[in-house]
Structure 1
Amino acid sequence: MTERVGELTNPEAWEIDASLLAALTAWVRSRAEDIQHMQRLEQGNSDSYVADVIIRPHSKPGPYGRVLKLVPPKIAQEESYAQGLLDQQQTDFSREYLVISQGSYLPNSGWQIQLQGYQDLRPLSTRIDDPEFARHCAAIVQAVVVTWNHEAHVSDLQEEAPTTYLQEVVEEDELRPFALAAGLDLDTPPAEVRLGGWQDELPNPLALIKDRQPWAGAKPYVWRGVGHGDLHTDNVLVPPSGDVKDSFRLIDLGRFSIRSPLSRDPMKLLLSAAADWLPQLAVESALRASLAEVVVRPDLVLAAPPIKGYQEVAASIHSAAEQWAQVQNTPQKWKAQQSLVLAGCAMRYVVRDDFPVPDRCWFFQVAALALRAMTATNVPLRTVPTPRRQISSTKPIAISPPEPVSPEPVEHPGSGAAVLHLVPPRETAKEVSPGEQVWDLARAAERLGASVGPARLAVVAEQLSQTARRLEPTLARIPGTAKVRRELRALRAALIALQDTATAGAALEPVKDSAAELAEYTARRWPEARG
């Protein structure tokens, strides 16, 4: 009897090029199990492709969930080096909490494939609405920063110039597209920047990177030691319910280092949670500005109802990380380094072109606030949250975006600070069902017109593709949406193609076709979505 070969049960779900898909298919066919793509995990910022999958063995017990990672050749070598460092740093923590994956190579591609995970564990991002999310984050951060480094015995404290630190975190060429989109001067940036909606001037992160800050010579102390290197909410696996203190696991250790700033893992975890929160908040609302302050200095923000939950999470992460400084009796030195490292983590999000420009501007705001916090203590915070309003945990904002503004820096009277208007005003989104969201997305894509210029089409296509991306995990949790999800992925692929201004004319028709198909299947699944 011929043994059945493995297969990809939904190959259309994989957003990878045809040659890589063929290599993955050949690899799966050599195994006696099928692999089903559930959702792409996109918190990371590398060229790797990471997905949540279900593996169904043909003869062994199953099915079970795993995180599948496709690693390009250039990154596979770096991860092998990190693996070597891990092998030399065996501690009780690493044996208990780290998921070490031994990758194999896809045939005829040079790409490496890794399967990581534990039975019945899910990414931390799936529990972001858990009332105990703040406590879970605190337990994870305390273990990673304090327990791991206490066992490793490699940590040290040293002075570091802020300019040098940020230059190592982000390169000038990476910043240029964002500076152009936001209307900021990268070549001769002013020392301070005035952000839209703010009354006071803030340190300009671009000026610090270019060594044009008058206080750039100050050198805060930075603790370095062992660190995960990319601790976001998709790289921490936790049980679907209950406590996580002794049951979480860390995956994707390709950026592990024994010289990592000890604040980097907790600040990256905090910003990754914030990245999940941002789609819930209207872009122009004061609540977004308040969230930036909460992320930077939760101890100075009044935990009013609109931001209380965010403040609890931020405070728990900051406090858990600071336990290391308390043990070492260096709490004041810790606050300065935590602000500097937070600014660096925020600037990594600023240069991510897979995030909408308004979100990248928000991370720029976080970086500016963090630099202010590094140079001063107990600075009064200025923004006032908007009144409490109902906010969906899954609802994307602004499906049909307004005309974009090309903000240009202008002189503020009496100041040399550049003014950055983050976004134009837009209407607050209403509470709508997932079906209505998909329907609105499809109709917005159908209405795209050939009379609009390629640059405008690219902007709108980026907004719509981000909305589609954020809808995917929501639909994955709803029964009977397989065909809708398939058409949603097809539309998103077409929208990504439309973002290339050189081929926008030819790409518009496939977008409209995909949108019409998506609208049809959405109306079948949710007849009421037509409104």
Structure 2
Amino acid sequence: MLNIPDQDARFIRETCGPEVVEELERQAVKHTWTDLYLYRPEWTAQGRSYTDAVLLAIEVAPRARQLILKVVPAGAPGREAAATAAAGTADATFTYQHLVKQLFQPVLLSDGRTLMFQEIAGKSLWNATTVGGLEEQHRARVVEQVVRGLLSQWNAKVLEQAVPEPVRVSAFLREELNDAWTGGGSLQAWARSLGILDPAPPWLYSDGMRLPNPYLMVKGGHPALPDPELRVLRGLGHGDLHLDNILVPCMEGEVRAEEYRFIDLCTFSARADLGGDVATLLLSALIPFVEHELPPDQRHALLRFIVAPHATHGASIVPRAKMLVQAVTVTAQQEMSHWRDSWDRQFLLSLMARALLFTTYTGIGEEGRGWFVRLAAHAGGEVLARTRHQGGEAWPPPLEPGRDSFTTQFSAPVTARSRPATGFVPDQEPRRRRWETDSGVRDERAVLGFGPDHTVVVVDGQGRVQRWSVEGGPLPGAEGRSDRIRVGHQALVSSLTHSVVSAWPRELEIMRFPQHAGVFRSDPVRFKGKEHFLVTSGGEVFATHDRKTLTVRSFEDGSAMEHLPCPASLATIAVSVDASVIAMACSQEVFIHRRNHRTLRKKTANSMPYFRTGVFRKLSEMLGPGCQLAVSPSGGHVGCVTFEEALVWSTEDGREVYRRKLTDREAREAAGAHGMRLLCTETGTLFFLKRGRLSCPTIDGGIQLRQSGRYVDVAIARDGRLMAMLGSEGRLEVWDL
């Protein structure tokens, strides 16, 4: 009869289930145990478990001994017992020094779980810790020892007999990613959320560099991206050698780096990529440095220091990060000096595969996952650069507008906490450039819009109108005036008729462009008394307001069609194409008027950056900071961006489909900015133009889209399929959404 104290038996039963207690009693008969205790004080594994395994430290007697009881889940982790046994027979010396032995045969439970009985690494629970639990100054020394052990000890015999294996880059990456890729799970979902998979642009842009799309390199076969053949070495590999899968003893305050031991060997392979464990070790060591947003110069320097180190890069990154990178990369190069150039290419491929795998780890944060996508792209670029034919074309090859696509800056998709509703697509992005031209307009007040019949229109600050078809053909326009239109985006292009309305200080001018003719200018719409403002959204109709009353007007002659009172302390207004939905905002409240339905009232948080704590917050709210509104063309969604948050509502039932607090950076960038424009697509995606930069507020972190130069204005076509951008240097681009 096995004696287990009641509190210990209860803990094991609640943690692991009654079947584990019953199996321990059977094992007691087999091994003649009479007593079993949980280790006291209660022991908790300091490392993280990525397989949901339960670890318990127990003491058994007679013969009195400590051991680790590990309850391994069913499924893939359940192969750990067999994998550990295989690893233990690969190299006797390394096993004795650096692996954890199984003291008794593992037991398969009826529910598919496995019980493992392991020795205690380092002989003591009290004095052993994971490398991840060490102080930073000790990690580099342990990491260096582990890399030497992997390559020159564990794989010494393997390398003596090794024959390099030829393999295509795409095939290598798919094999390394395995189920993470073929299963179509979080790896591909993350890529789609970034807009770089299905459809997938071949090139991505990072800190001024043009890099290959790593996901297309995994797929292979893209005409814009080579798929070279490399020769790689395979051998013994742990398979998941992050910092918390390595234990080291600490005796009398001294970290015994050379006495490290590997744990959790369920992914062991006898023909692993030799660079895989080294890459995993490096990337896990860098997580504390990259899981939060880095300044762009430091982020870029760290990426380049890993894939193509240069003294200038090392001077720009945190010294501790530099030390860790060198502890891995320099040590590995020393151990593989007989295979140096080929090793460097193989290690870049290993970095690509492991970096993509790390993007599936949601626990490292969205900034961290974005950094690992960047690293995969940088590593892929170096692979292609180092395998191109000598004397061939420059790297990267020249930009081709037909194949280069508008892409994002590797930032985060919407997370579960944002709770998007069905039909809400928070991260719709421009996918392919359809057409571009030099408009000749270099005017910060210029306005951009889509007309009917797939036309795109630019109105400059003096009311001059230029028109094109989206296929690139020029159309008749109109000359401007000597005076200038009002500040801001004070012109609007009709989406129903070939018409443009421009706002001057005390009048509106409507210009119509009949087919195969010039321009027809109607009599100006003059305002008496109060100052009127043009609402810069609409399409079939347009609207003006005098801060007290909003007037919906006809594009035919500017005559009034509908009046609506404005709320006190009006901040901004936006209307749908036909004005069936009109949104008006005060500083902290939005009113959504829906034709033939009740008005919706929505509260918002809004305060100025730097003044959000204590007495300053109330003062900041009392100042009534402004905000931006946008209505989707058909009126299905209303978006709002304050200085504090981004929101999207469905106008069908008033549901809030998105809400996110802005980062301090986003709030500061909007302060004092002129000519801002907020757009909302039919699916609820928001695009925000401020300080010449176009961002997507409905993606966590307020992702900024890749662009060349500054934008003066942006526009979305009525059908939601096209987007146009006008650059400050005059370049006009039309993209598919």
Normalising by structure 2, we get a TM-score of: 0.46
Counterparts of residues 83-122 of structure 1 (less than 5 Å): 83-101=84-102, 102=104, 104-105=106-107, 108-114=110-116, 115=118, 117-118=120-121, 119=124, 120-122=127-129
**What are the Cα deviations for residues 83-140 of structure 1, in whole angstroms up to 9, with x where unaligned?**
453354233222221113356347543211334532122111111x332322221111
Counterparts of residues 80-229 of structure 1 (less than 5 Å): 80-101=81-102, 102=104, 104-105=106-107, 108-114=110-116, 115=118, 117-118=120-121, 119=124, 120-127=127-134, 129-152=135-158, 153=160, 155-170=162-177, 171-172=181-182, 173-174=184-185, 175-184=187-196, 186-195=197-206, 198-211=207-220, 212=222, 214-229=224-239
Distance 1:242 1:322 in 2: 28
Q: For 1:259, what is the secondary structure of its paired residue?
A: strand
Q: Where does residue 311 of structure 1 map in the other structure? A: 322
Q: Choose between structure 1 and 2: higher strand proportion.
A: 2
Shift in CA distance, 218/99, structure 1 to aligned 2, threshold 3 Å: same
Deviation at residue 364 of structure 1 after TM alignment: 0.9
In the alignment, structure 1 residue 33 sits paired with structure 2 residue 44: no
Deviation at residue 190 of structure 1 after TM alignment: 1.8
> For residue 224 of structure 1, what is the amino acid of its counterpart?
R
Counterparts of residues 278-427 of structure 1 (less than 5 Å): 278-279=290-291, 281-282=292-293, 286-299=297-310, 302-304=313-315, 306-326=317-337, 329-376=338-385, 406-410=426-430
CA contact (8 A) 1:142 1:320 kept: yes
CA contact (8 A) 2:46 2:129 kept: no
> For residue 249 of structure 1, what is the amino acid of its counterpart?
R
Shift in CA distance, 136/87, structure 1 to aligned 2, threshold 3 Å: closer
**What are the Cα deviations for residues 382-408 of structure 1, in whole angstroms up to 9, with x where unaligned?**
xxxxxxxxxxxxxxxxxxx99999444
CA contact (8 A) 1:169 1:344 kept: yes
Distance 2:10 2:143 in 1: 34
CA contact (8 A) 2:200 2:216 kept: yes
Deviation at residue 56 of structure 1 after TM alignment: 5.9
Distance 2:255 2:327 in 1: 16
**What are the Cα deviations for residues 431-483 of structure 1, in whole angstroms up to 9, with x where unaligned?**
xxxxxxxxxxxxxxxxxxxx9979758x99xxxxxxxxxxxxxxxxxxxxxxx
* Structure 2: runs of 5 or more not aligned: 29-34, 388-393, 396-416, 437-608, 611-648, 662-737
**290-299 or 146-155, which moves further after superposition?**
290-299
Deviation at residue 58 of structure 1 after TM alignment: 8.3
**What are the Cα deviations for residues 155-174 of structure 1, in whole angstroms up to 9, with x where unaligned?**
33122211011112231413
> For residue 141 of structure 1, what is the amino acid of its counterpart?
V
In the alignment, structure 1 residue 247 sits paired with structure 2 residue 259: yes
Q: For 1:347, what is the secondary structure of its paired residue?
A: helix
CA contact (8 A) 2:361 2:369 kept: yes
What is the aligned residue count?
A: 392
* Structure 1: runs of 5 or more not aligned: 381-400, 417-426, 429-450, 461-531
Deviation at residue 67 of structure 1 after TM alignment: 6.4
Q: Where does residue 71 of structure 2 map in the other structure? A: 70
Q: Where does residue 235 of structure 1 map in the other structure? A: 245
CA contact (8 A) 1:28 1:34 kept: no
* Structure with higher RCO (Cα < 8 A, 6+ apart): 1
Shift in CA distance, 330/76, structure 1 to aligned 2, threshold 3 Å: closer
CA contact (8 A) 1:203 1:368 kept: yes
**What are the Cα deviations for residues 26-71 of structure 1, in whole angstroms up to 9, with x where unaligned?**
5678761115352573364xx44255x5546689878x7x766432
CA contact (8 A) 1:91 1:151 kept: no
Q: Choose between structure 1 and 2: higher helix proportion.
A: 1
**What are the Cα deviations for residues 366-386 of structure 1, in whole angstroms up to 9, with x where unaligned?**
111111122236999xxxxxx
Distance 2:426 2:366 in 1: 12
Q: For 1:302, what is the secondary structure of its paired residue?
A: helix
CA contact (8 A) 1:76 1:112 kept: no
CA contact (8 A) 1:299 1:315 kept: no
Shift in CA distance, 141/254, structure 1 to aligned 2, threshold 3 Å: same
Q: For 2:150, what is the secondary structure of its paired residue?
A: helix
